[in-house]
Structure 1
Amino acid sequence: MVEVRTATNLGDMPSYRWMTLTTDYGLTDGFVAAVHGVIARRADWVRVIDITHQIPPGDVARGSAVLAQAVTHMPIAVHVAVVDPGVGTARRPIAIQAPNAILVGPDNGLLPAAADALGGVELAVHLDDPGWFLPEVSRTFHGRDVFAPVGARLAGGTPVKSAGTPLDPATLVRLPDPVVTIGDGYIEAEVLTVDRFGNVQLAAPGQALDDLGDQLIAGGLRAVKGGTFGDAPPGDLVVYVDSADRVALAINGGRAVVALAVSAGDVLRVATR
C-alpha cells in the first residue's frame, strides 16, 4: 500500500499536499523548472499546480487579479506567486496566513487580493531569516532562492509565525482599488484584465448588469446584454457576466479589446441605449 502523506500522518504540524505557482517567468527559459526543482527537493510529497507563468513581465496588477480569481478554486495549498519588478530592492519578501491557505511572495500588492478572496489575512510575516532560503541567494531570482524554499518548508508544516518577523497586516502594500461607478442606467468601471481571447473584464461585479437594459452602448459601440458569446450575432459585441462574476465584454468571433481600443487600467462606460 502506498502511503499518502496528509496533515495527519506527516508529523505533529499540519502540512499541505498542494502548492500553486503564479509568475511572469514565461516558458522559454529555465526559470519555472528551477522553481519546481527547488520545491521537489524540499517537499517531494507536494503536488504543484501551475496557475500561470504568462503574466506580462512586471504586471503586478494582472498577476494580482489572476491569482485572486484562481485561488478560490484551488485545494488547500501554499500559493507561491512571483511578479516582482522590485526583486533585490528594499521591498519585503512576505508570507501570509489566510484561512486554509498560505501565500508567499513579494510585498508589492500581488498577494492581498488573493488573501482577501480566501477569507482575509490572519497573520503576515517579513521573511527575514536567511536560514529559510537557499545557501546562496541571487538578487535577481528570489522565486528560486527565497520564495520556493520558504513555500516548501511551510508546506511541510512549519507554522508561518516561525518564518520571519510578524507584520501588521495594515502595512502590507495594496494596489489601489479599481474604479467602479454604478449609476442610473450605466456602469463606469476600470478594465481589470484582458484574457488571451481578447475578452475585456471590468472591475464591476456581475450584478451591476441587472439594472441595465438589453440594448447597450459600450465604449461608444452598440452591444447587447447576454449570457454567453453566441447571444450576439457574429462580429457583434456582447456584455455578460464572466466566470469570475465580473462584467465583461466580448465579440462573437472577434476580439473585444481591439474593437474597444482599451487596455488594463482604462475606464469603460457601459450604458443602456
Structure 2
Amino acid sequence: MPPFASIATDFGAAYTAICSGVVQRLAPSAKVLILTDEITPYAIVEGALLLRQALPYLPEGVHMAVVDPGVGTPRHPIAVRTRRGDVLVGPDNGLLMPAAEALGGATAAFVLEDPAYRLPEPSTTFHARDIFAPATAHLLNGVDPAAFGPETAPLPLDLPGPEHGDDGTLTMTVLYEDRYGSLILSAEAKDLGPPRFGTPATLSWTSSDGTPTAIRVTYEETFGSVHPGDPLLWTDSSGALGLAVNQGSAAHRYGLTAGTVLTLRPPNGDS
C-alpha cells in the first residue's frame, strides 16, 4: 500500500493544490488526499476540531494541516508523532493537538528546522509550500521525525468548556460555524442530562451590540424533527452540541459568531 498523506488548510483550492503538488513531486509514490481547503481563514479552533473529527477515519499516515495566522513569526513549525503511528505536520499553535489526542495521544514532537528538508529560500508567508509540504513528503519517504530538529513540547489548544449552574443552567461558548451556518458549541449531549427530546428550553445570550436576546429551542435527534425555519439543538456527528435552524443558518438568523457565550435554561429552571 502506498504511503498516505492528507492536507487541510484555510487557503482555498489554488494554494492548497500547490502544496499538494510539492508533496507529490517529492514523494511521487504517495497517495495525497486534500481533506479540505475550506477552513475559515485564521480559524484555528475550527480547523483543530475538524481534524479531530476526521483523522481517526483516515488511513494511518502523514497529515499536514495549516491554519497559521502567525506564519513568519517565531512560532515553530512542528511534526507530532502520535500513538496510532501517524505524524501530524503544521504550525505549533494548538491546531494539531486535539487530533493528536484522538489518535491516541502525542508521543513526541519535533521542530522542523533542518534546511535539508525544506525548499530553498523559504518564503516568510508561505511556510505550507516551503516547509510543511516538503516535510510531509520526506516523512512519506521514510525520514524519521527526529531528523528534522530538536524535540519540543507543543502548545495545547485551550478550548472553553461547559459550565453547569446550580439552577440547572448550562453555559456554553460558540466554537465555530459550519458551512450550513449551524453553530458548534463547547458542550456535549451528556451535559444536558437525560435526553428530553422536544421539550422547550430557553437559550439566551448578549448580542454584540449589548442587547440581551433569548429564544425558545428544543433538543432534537434530527433536523427534520422541527419545521423548516425553526431552531433546534442537536448533537453533531462528533458528539458536540450544536445550534441549528432546519434548512437555514443559525449564524445568520441570530447574528452569532465564535466566542459568543450562550446560556441554556431548562423548563421551569429544572436540571
Give the TM-score normalised by the residue count of structure 2: 0.88
Once residues 4 and 264 of structure 2 are traced to their aligned partners in structure 1, the CA distance between those partners, rounded to angstroms, is: 40
**Coordinate RMSD, CA, aligned:** 1.6
Counterpart in the other structure of 2:162: 180
Counterpart in the other structure of 1:270: 264
Counterpart in the other structure of 1:137: 122
**Structure 2 segments unaligned to the other structure (5+ residues):** 205-213
Once residues 131 and 18 of structure 2 are traced to their aligned partners in structure 1, the CA distance between those partners, rounded to angstroms, is: 12
1:41 equivalent in alignment to 2:25 = yes
Tell me how far 1:212 sits from its aligned partner.
Answer: 6.0
Moved more, 35-44 or 183-192: 183-192
- C-alpha contact (below 8 Å) 2:64/2:133 kept by paired residues: yes
Q: 1:196 corresponds to which letter in structure 2?
A: R
- C-alpha contact (below 8 Å) 1:212/1:271 kept by paired residues: no
- C-alpha contact (below 8 Å) 2:62/2:86 kept by paired residues: yes
Counterpart in the other structure of 1:257: 251
Once residues 122 and 255 of structure 2 are traced to their aligned partners in structure 1, the CA distance between those partners, rounded to angstroms, is: 42
SS in 2 for 1:38: helix
Moved more, 84-93 or 51-60: 51-60
Within 5 Å, give how 1:162-241 maps onto structure 2: 162-167=147-152, 169=153, 172-183=154-165, 185-211=168-194, 213=196, 214-219=199-204, 220-241=214-235
1:77-122 CA-to-partner distances (Å, cap 9, x unmatched) read 2110111112112111111000221101111121111111211110
Counterpart in the other structure of 1:18: 4
Name the % identity: 39
Tell me how far 1:160 sits from its aligned partner.
Answer: 1.3
Once residues 203 and 50 of structure 1 are traced to their aligned partners in structure 2, the CA distance between those partners, rounded to angstroms, is: 27
Once residues 253 and 217 of structure 1 are traced to their aligned partners in structure 2, the CA distance between those partners, rounded to angstroms, is: 21
Q: 1:83 corresponds to which letter in structure 2?
A: V
Equivalent residue in structure 2 for 1:154, among 117, 121, 139: 139
Give the TM-score normalised by the residue count of structure 1: 0.88
- C-alpha contact (below 8 Å) 1:185/1:211 kept by paired residues: no
Tell me how far 1:142 sits from its aligned partner.
Answer: 0.7
Counterpart in the other structure of 2:97: 112
Q: 2:162 corresponds to which letter in structure 1?
A: V
Once residues 184 and 142 of structure 2 are traced to their aligned partners in structure 1, the CA distance between those partners, rounded to angstroms, is: 37
SS in 2 for 1:135: coil
